[in-house]
Structure 1
Amino acid sequence: MTRDEALFEFCLRMGDSTLVLGHRVSEWCGHAPVLEEDIALANTALDLIGQTQLWLGLAGEVEGKGRDADQLAFLRDAWDFRNLLLTEVPNGDFGRTLMRQFLFDAWHSVYLARLLKSSDKRIADIAEKASKEVAYHLERSADTVVALGDGTEESHQRMEAALAYLWPYVGEMFAGDAVDAAMAEAGIAPDPAGLREEYDALVGRVLAEATLEMPESRFAHKGGRNGAMHTEHLGHILTQMQWLQRAYPGASW
């Protein structure tokens, strides 16, 4: 694998994760429990889609085959996606959605902080822009996890259930492979395994305040980041996301 091939895969991993999660979060538009949350979730989704444009745009540039961000988003099949499995699981109730957002935001903030020092200025520039948005995402999702975890008996139980359901997807964030090794060697991105301690400390502090216990299990569902395996949910997401471009190829307005 050449350096550019590894960089292309890296950009897909970042862009596909924000794309799929952005789509998932957007599903709450018009359905959130209160208007303020509806607007906040819609804005989070827009931030993630904006970050996708940057990551997939760079991926297309690195690939050099004339594909832009839109083509990479709308004209690839499920087996070509490199998103974290966590991002494609169904929303569930409001508590599960915010727990998923928090677990992703915590990883995202830690990872972007390292990318600010990337040897590739294009990566560092994207990280600088995204990190400002993600700081807000993390603050909001963490506050909501605390409010619901340390809220009523029902909200606490729902957050416990959400954490138990989502935790097995966390480990994939820190499972390195040849792409990660190439990026680390070039000084472009960190070794994911080296971020776990910082992540656990951050998540642990918030969960403790939410009166929730961090699971001890290190079992991890894997396969999303390298395209080896996705859940059945990704196909349904892409059916919704891509149908217009597939039905009317090259349509513009």
Structure 2
Amino acid sequence: MSSPSDMNTGDVVELAAKEAAQQDVPDHHVTDVALKPAFFDWLCRMGDTTLILGHRTSEWCGHGPALEEDIAQANIALDLIGHTQMWLGLAAEVEDEGRTADTLAYLRDAMKFRNLLLVELPKGDMAVTIMRQFLFDAWHHDYLGKLTGSSSPRVAEIAAKALKEVTYHLERSSDLVVRLGDGTDASRRRMQDALELLWPYTGEMFVSDEVDRAIAEAGIAPLVEDLHADWTETVTEILKEATLELPSGTAYAQKGGRTGRHTEHLGFVLAEMQFLQRAYPGASW
């Protein structure tokens, strides 16, 4: 996805040449056979998570409580799908088996998806949507910031592009959490309920495994467990300002999405998302 300044480029040929040149930057990680399984899996974790959250967020299109919020949710969904195109596009290139970002998105079964469980949960009410976005944004923003220094030029480039949009996502979701948490009794109660519902799923964002360790050893990304302290500081600060209470229970109760073990909700998401491509293979506009 092009940055805002790129979108204003008058010469589309120049823009296409610029993006092609960025993709031609040498990256030995892409062709490293020994690293391929871990790198592919890690890229799918990134792309699948933004894909599923993007789809969940898009479910508000035409159903938002206010026109501004309806448009904002649609734009956030588009940003996330744009990130997916980059992550899964690179994953297909690393895999080198003829698949594309589209086939990875629309022709894999649930057990092959590597997204966080947090993002596949039903959208719920607006309190759940906003609280989930905030909890994810706080992690996503920090992770992308660190990925801009990746030893993989391609990963660093994707992270730099996505970070511009995710910076706005975090600012917006943080502001809404504060406004609603420190709002009326009803809005505070609903935000607290949403936090209690989602909290058990947040721990999965910080559980490192052999894939993470292989990627960290290659210098591509830090271990996700190393993000926990900064995330906790950000979340605690915003929730305090919002007069919301941190849940007392463990945040590690639910996990498995990053290794293909999902809730029943993902199957319903994929049934809707993948229907057209599976019903009419190879269909195009």
Aligned match of 1:209 in 241, 252, 260?
A: 241
Does structure 1 residue 48 correspond to structure 2 residue 106? no
Provide the C-alpha distance between the structure 2 equivalents of 1:97 and 1:70, rounded to a whole number of angstroms.
26
Residue-by-residue CA offset, 1:179-230 (whole Å, 9 max, x unaligned): 0000111110011111100000000010000001122433331110011x10
Deviations 1:42-95 (A, max 9, x none): 000000000000000000000000100000000000000000000000111101
The alpha-carbon deviation at position 4 of structure 1 amounts to: 1.2
User: Equivalent residue of 2:258, what SS?
Assistant: coil
SS at match of 1:134: helix
What SS does structure 1 have at the residue aligned with 2:257?
Answer: coil
Distance 1:235 1:195 in 2: 29
Of 126, 135, 160, 2:192 maps to 160
Amino acid at match of 1:79: M
Equivalent residue letter for 1:221: Q
Unmatched 5+ stretches in structure 1: none
Q: Give unmatched runs, 5+ long, in structure 2.
A: 1-32
The yes-or-no answer on 1:225 pairing with 2:255 is no
Distance in 1 (CA, whole Å) between partners of 2:85 and 2:142 is 21
Which letter does structure 1 place at the counterpart of 2:218? Answer: A
2:138 to 106, 119, 124: 106
* Structural mapping, 1:1-40, within 5 Å: 2-40=34-72
- Shift in Å at residue 252 of structure 1? 1.4
**What is the Cα deviation at residue 27 of structure 1?**
0.1
Q: How many angstroms apart in 1 are the aligned matches of 2:249 and 2:220?
A: 30
CA distance in 2, matches of 1:183, 1:53: 21
Q: For the residues of structure 2 that align with 1:220 and 1:184, how far apart are their CA atoms?
A: 25
Report the AA paired with residue 220 of structure 1.
Answer: A
Q: Does 1:251 align with 2:283?
A: yes
TM-score by length of 2: 0.87
User: In terms of mean alpha carbon deviation, does 165-174 or 1-10 score higher?
Assistant: 1-10
Which of 189, 192, 204 is the matching residue for 1:172? 204
Output the TM-score relative to the length of structure 1: 0.98
Partner of 1:191: 223
The answer to whether 1:118 aligns with 2:150 is yes
1:140 maps to 2:195: no
User: Which residue of structure 2 aligns with residue 72 of structure 1?
Assistant: 104
Q: Distance in 2 between matches of 1:100 and 1:131?
A: 18
Partner SS for 2:283: coil
Q: Does 1:93 align with 2:125?
A: yes
Aligned to 1:57: 89
After TM superposition, the runs of 4+ consecutive aligned structure 1 residues lying more than 4 A away are: none
Distance in 2 of aligned mates of 1:37 and 1:159: 17
Larger radius of gyration: 2
How far has the Cα of 1:3 moved from its partner? 0.9
What secondary structure, in the 3-state scheme, does the structure 2 residue paired with 1:225 have?
helix
Superposed CA RMSD: 0.9
Question: C-alpha separation between the residues in 2 aligned to 1:67 and 1:141?
Answer: 35
> In the comparison of the two structures, how many residue pairs are matched?
252
Query: How many angstroms does 1:175 deviate by?
Result: 0.3
- SS across alignment from 2:249: coil
What SS class does the counterpart of residue 123 from structure 2 fall into? coil
Distance 2:94 2:170 in 1: 30
Aligned match for 1:200, one of 229, 232, 236? 232
- Cα distance in 2 for partners of 1:120, 1:216 equals 39
Aligned-pair CA distance for 1:2: 3.1
Give the partner amino acid of 1:128: A
